[in-house]
Chains A and B, each alone.
Chain A
Amino acid sequence: MTDEAFTPGLTAGGGGAAALRATEYDNPVAGVFDDVEQVPGAAKPDPILVADGVVKTFGGLTAVDVAHLEIQRGAITALIGPNGAGKTTFFNLLTGFDRPDRGSVSLEGEDISRVAPHRLARRGMVRTFQLTKALSRMTVVDNMKLGATGQRGESIWRSLLGPLWSAQESEVGERAEELLDRFNMSHMADEFAGTLSGGQRKLIEMARALMTDPKLVMLDEPMAGVNPALTQSLLGHVKGLRAEGRSVIFVEHDMDVVRDISDWVVVMAEGQIIAEGTPDSIGKNQAVVDAYLGQHHDQDLSVESPAGGSSDEVGESDG
């Protein structure tokens, strides 16, 4: 798909929502949310991830206090909220990078609140980071190969005997090349990841995450700092994940993006979930508007103003 993403000449000017090719992938979960009540903590037909009473405090300050949250399997769920709402902290708690003071998180019915992050990755839950973590002094293809789980050559003893892992290594290499191809990065394969642009780093991070063959992909601000053309390419890839049957949770600020690709939106403010609903309805929710206004946030809920623009008109978010 979108080969032109890397070709500067074909960059769609402005990056308006209209340019998105929403129809390229089918939506396997279309209609699933029709019967779901649009309130915080709403029960979903088939949740893959459930958080219950998750609380985290830092020096007396409650960063996260989520009573109940269910994430629907196979859908794209957006997690939004003003700055300092605790989205990233919540992400860290869900992915094992931080431990909650109280409460539990379960993945497909199994409690994972005490499970180390690397084990979660092996269980099919993978995440990316807000500040992209390209492994600078490794090549792009090495970045990709790293993502594969269950590599025999990753054991300290077996690694010494090449024949034990070389066959698997070439398999991993093939998969890496396929994915790079899909993400239009084949031509960069042997470059150091540190030489990539910000957007390319986001792409490689997502591609690398897919090497783990995850059931649930958690993207922390996948579009932050990415130019509009690449944003669309990234959006396409996210929808591609859903089409493959993977579940996606992502943190995002840009309401255009949220409205375009998400099936369900969860809004956090001051560590709590204040609203849940479909992307169309969420902008009309008074609690959401109040939260964004009350924070004097510098993010963009309105359709018209481009990202990063004046934020004094925040309250005019519509649906």
Chain B
Amino acid sequence: MFPLFLDAAWKVLLAAVVLGAGLPALFAVGVRSFALAGAGSGPLTDDDGRAIAVSAPTSGGSTGLRILGVVCVVLVLAAVAVGLTVIIAGGFGKAVSFENVFPMIVDK
């Protein structure tokens, strides 16, 4: 029982660290990029309303930041879509297989 348990537990931990901590981090990179890209249009303030000294990005830099932000958000959304598929497929007696790296719906 215990070897089985440890085997399942570390798999859950590994998957959850990658998805549950990695995705919020990626999302934060996206949010940060958008915030910095927007710094050109007005001063940034921190939680207490104090101004943060961030040099406004050049227009090229601003576009780059926005693209980075979009890429991060799209990646997060794609992961959420896979998560939804796992929930829904599970309900219909199917499972999502990651054997071919790309997720595929298979019979349970």
A and B found bound together:
no
**Measuring CB to CB, which residues of chain B are less than 8 angstroms from any residue of chain A?**
none
